[in-house]
Structure 1
Amino acid sequence: MADAGRALISGLGVFNALGHDTAALCAALTEQRLGARSGFFASERAAQGNGLPFNPQQVAMPALPQTRRNPAGCDAETACALIEKVLDEALAQAGLRRADLAGRRVQFYIGGQGVQPEIMKFTAYLQRNDAEDLFFNPGIRKMHSDSYAEERLGRLLMQRVGLALPPLALSTASCSSMSALFLASRAIESGRADLVVVASWQQVSQYNLMFMGGVNALARSVAQPFSAATEGVMLGGGAALAILESEAHLRARQGRGLLRIDGFATCQGGGSGRGGQSFAPDFRTLARTVEESLEQAGIAAADVGCVFMHGNGIRGSDQAELLAVRKLWGDNTVPTVSYKAQLGYQVAASGLTDLAIAADALQQRRLLAFKALAPLDAAGVHLHADAEPLALTSDKLVKLGLGIEGSMAACTLTRLAG
């Protein structure tokens, strides 16, 4: 098919502990507020009884408005409700309706953790699987694929949103929403789709905690990106969504875009088999990925106004990002940010959440500082922390994404005039 040009972002939605929408989230970041922390388990003893050495803190998902459903679970119905919440915000911003998503040139991507089984029910299933135990332990029945399969979520979204085509799901660690955004932009640019939705969500579960603890990436108390004191990550719940359109589609409906994706490079750089604090991607590979994104955009590093880092609190990963930025920008340091100490590490949903904050930064022509909860180790990079909002003179920024399995992404974005 004919090249349709660059993909445009026309709508964004977020939902997390710091804001139930983008405006509320940016207001909280302006005030440098922190998401409320709480222990995942009721006590230290309960955590140890479930195989963890300490009770990990989390920034939990807030209660969904107008529903009694507890968002702490990872079932398909809750995931669908979360996606619908952020979808409605993004549609309103884009000036679209749900009915506009019913065409066959509309695609829906889901990037995230996947709908997961409850780990303790899985353990119970291994221990109790005869008819009598099924009767006395009904939770085992929730191990059926309908309770957590991506297909179930896809069917629900098709029914509730009115999609003509089933959503496509990517579950590739913390870079999956950026990978989904990459595929969405390529679908627009190749002319295969007129409108694409990319959604992601993260609900903190025992499954997540056992995985992050198993690779030595879970912080006991200090989870601060770009700090020598960081112990790893503190997980947070959140959902986020972006709507992409072709220029022709946006123009035909007389819509208004927010951002244009001018360059998007991805790479599989290889992950550490040990994970956790040993996870240290090659900064040279990351720098080359950023350079490719800038080349696609036809700009130099000096044209970029700010960089939204992945910055999750894993020391090796954070250091690789700092070295890559240092290699590309040198002494002409570019302002960089990561808000994960305030929001919690929302894993895949972090990428799209950053995208909403980035769009607001470019539209408002200022970069909000992040709050540092421990001394920073900047390594010659301009970390914009604990300061007043910084005026932006450039209409371009770069968003980075990293996955613990070795995936890398660099997206160059340009503000669209209002």
Structure 2
Amino acid sequence: MKKRVLVTGMGIISAAGDNLTENFDSLHQARTGIGKAVHFRSRYADQLPFGECRPGNEMLKAWLGLEQSRGYTRTCLLASAAFEEAVRHAGLAPELISSPDTAFISASTVGGMCLTDQLYHDANLRSEGSEYLEAYGAAAHTMRLIERYRITGFTDTVNTACSSSANAILLGARLIASGRARRAIVGGVDSLAKYTVNGFNALKILSEEPCKPFDEFRDGLNLGEGAAYLVLEAEEDAASKTTYAEICGYGNSNDAFHPSAMSAEGTGAILSMQQAVRTAGIGFDEVSYVNAHGTGTPNNDEVELFALKSVFEKVPPFSSTKSYTGHTLGAAGAVEAIFSILSIMHSKLFPCLHLTRPIHEAPQPVAVLTSGVAVNYVLSNSFGFGGNCTSLLIGRVQQPVA
């Protein structure tokens, strides 16, 4: 029998706030975290806006008690901050974190390559070997957390571009639903890096202004950084705990169209949304809100709108919360899953920011904070380069059937 998967803890750090409370406050106040980067060193730091997390590396080390640590990249530090909040929020004792039936699945795209210049020097033997030699891989932050918390259960690191941490959540939920794990800590992290900024700049999709998803005059995205983790537990293990939402359904597909663009037909996006709703066992008309992928690029927003119109007879309220954080790449799926849960918990729909003129002759996104609405099911979309599309169906916790 398929087990219900409940969310018992959350942790997050993003440009919108250093923790769960601050992120919700920014959403509630319609306040963006996108602006001038302070810690990121690049020729583009003065030219482009970014969604940079407020604390510097030394502050993060002090928070985490890692002042004497070596080899911790910014990616490792951001992941540690969000992971620690998540397990504390869930009340997970150390012995449960390290239990063999606790899975840990993380995600990242840039990993330790946030130290782009140092990597170049180390790889080309222009240094004597820095403290970061073992930290450049996408899984380096995962290994740090495994070591620190003595994790012994199933572990994995996912890299499917911008859908990475959504797929980490999907995998963790499936492990629990099938009885292969009792709990799973799932999410992802990415930090700003020359590696990714230069790459996205070469694609000509970085905006010189704060991004405006689903706007007629949108001209690109803003890169951001952050980390987010959710603690998922089987229903019987969460019986005496506070639960915040249920992972009801999920879908993953690939339109196999282009390395960095979605097909005009939205094949992957349509299939992932349909699978998520159907595996949840609800009707399409029961979806209360869609947290859209909504990057603010001409291609993404147009195709996602087409896909939404194809899936839903009447498109539910939708918006993109990337206008608060920037596009956090491998962390985006988990960041936006948490934002979706906050929408359910507080009965609020968070608006697109910077919206001046919605796309002509298309469904209109949420433009102002909407409170007091029944948000029972949220569909959260994460669409990655290479066409990897993932949708999560997150629901309000229903009482168990007698």
Place the TM-score, normalised by the shorter chain, in its bin. Answer: 0.7 to 0.9
In the TM superposition, what whole-angstrom CA distance separates every residue of 1:199-224 from its partner, at most 9, and x where no partner exists? Answer: 31121110111111222222233522
Aligned to 2:89: 93
Amino acid at match of 2:51: V
Question: Could you list the runs of 5+ residues in structure 1 that have no partner in the other structure?
Answer: none
Whether 1:416 and 2:402 are equivalent positions in the alignment is: no
The change in CA–CA distance for 1:228 and 1:279 in structure 2 (over 3 A counts) is: farther
Give, as a single letter, the amino acid of the residue that structure 2 aligns with 1:269. D
CA drift of 1:242 comes to: 0.7
Instruction: State the 1:170 CA deviation.
Output: 1.1
Q: Quick one: which of 339, 344, 362 aligns to 1:357? A: 339
Q: CA deviation at 1:241?
A: 0.6
Contact 1:76 1:115 in 2 (8 A): no
Kindly indicate whether the alpha-carbon contact (under 8 Å) linking 1:77 and 1:156 is maintained by their aligned counterparts in 2: no
Which residue of 2 is the match for residue 82 of structure 1? 78
Q: What is the TM-score of this pair, normalised by structure 2?
A: 0.88
Contact 1:41-1:55 within 8 A present in 2 as well: no
8 Å Cα contact 2:212/2:353 also seen in 1: no
- Which residue of structure 1 lines up, in the alignment, with residue 359 of structure 2? 377
When residues 80 and 6 of structure 1 are mapped into structure 2, their CA distance, relative to the original with a 3 A threshold, is same
1:219 partner letter: S
**Residues 179-232 of structure 1: CA deviation (Å, up to 9, x unaligned):** 111111111111110011113112111011111122222223352211232222
Q: Are 1:234 and 2:216 counterparts?
A: no
C-alpha distance after superposition, 1:285-343 (max 9, x if no partner): 4223212221222211111111110111121111111111112234x331101121221
In the alignment, which residue of structure 2 is the partner of 1:396?
377
Deviations 1:55-111 (A, max 9, x none): 3321212216563599xxxx6454333223222322233232233211101111111
Give 2:167's aligned amino acid.
S
Q: 1:366 Cα deviation (Å)?
A: 2.0
Cα distance in 2, alignment partners of residues 391 and 53 from structure 1: 40
CA distance in 2, matches of 1:397, 1:166: 28
Correspondence for 1:348: 330
Describe how 1:61-140 pairs up with structure 2 within 5 A.
61-63=53-55, 65=59, 67=61, 76-117=72-113, 118-124=115-121, 129=125, 134=127
Is structure 2 residue 47 aligned with structure 1 residue 58? no
**1:328–1:191 CA distance, 2 compared to 1 (3 A):** same
State the AA in 1 paired with 2:382: G
Match of 2:179 among 191, 197, 206: 191
Query: Aligned partners of 2:93, 2:379: CA distance in 1, in Å?
Result: 30
Give, in angstroms, the shift of residue 382 of structure 1: 3.2
* Corresponding residue pairs, total: 392
Contact 1:218/1:233 (8 A) holds in 2: yes
Partner Cα separation in structure 2 for residue 291 and residue 340 of structure 1: 23
Shift, 1:394, TM fit: 4.4
Measured in 1, the distance between the counterparts of 2:360 and 2:242 equals 38
Give the counterpart letter for 1:234 in structure 2: N
The one-letter amino acid of 1:349's match is A
Once the two structures are superposed, the pairs formed by residues 254-403 of structure 1 within 5 Å of their partners are 254-273=240-259, 275=260, 279-280=262-263, 282-330=265-313, 332-377=314-359, 379-385=361-367, 387-403=368-384
Report the Cα distance in structure 1 between the residues aligned to 2:79 and 2:86, rounded to whole angstroms: 11
Q: Select the residue among 167, 180, 183 that pairs with 2:155.
A: 167
* Contact 2:290–2:378 (CA under 8 A) maintained in structure 1: yes
Partner of 2:67: none
- Contact 2:12–2:18, Cα closer than 8 Å, also in 1: yes
Q: Which has the larger radius of gyration?
A: 1
Q: TM-score, normalised by structure 1?
A: 0.84
**Shift of residue 236 of structure 1?**
1.1
Q: For residues 85 and 111 of structure 1, do their structure 2 counterparts lie closer, same or farther at Cα, with a shift above 3 Å needed?
A: same
Tell whether the 8 Å contact from 2:226 to 2:331 is kept in structure 1 after alignment.
Answer: yes
> Alpha carbons of 1:393 and 1:149: their partners in 2 closer, same or farther (altered >3 Å)?
closer
Partner letter of residue 247 of structure 2? Answer: I
Alignment match of 2:232 (pick from 220, 223, 244): 244
Structure 2 match to 1:26: 24
* Stretches of structure 2 lacking an aligned partner (at least 5 in a row): 65-70
Relative to structure 1, the CA distance from residue 382 to residue 123 in structure 2 (aligned partners, 3 Å threshold; closer, same or farther) is same
Residues 66, 153 of structure 1: alpha-carbon distance in 2 compared, 3 angstrom cutoff: closer
Distance 1:380 1:337, change over 3 A: same
Taking the aligned partners of 1:61 and 1:81, their CA distance within structure 2 comes to: 11
**SS of residue matched to 1:220:** coil
Per-residue Cα deviation, 1:156-184 (whole angstroms, up to 9, x for no partner): 21221121247311122111001111111
Distance change >3 Å, CA 271–CA 76, structure 1 → 2: farther
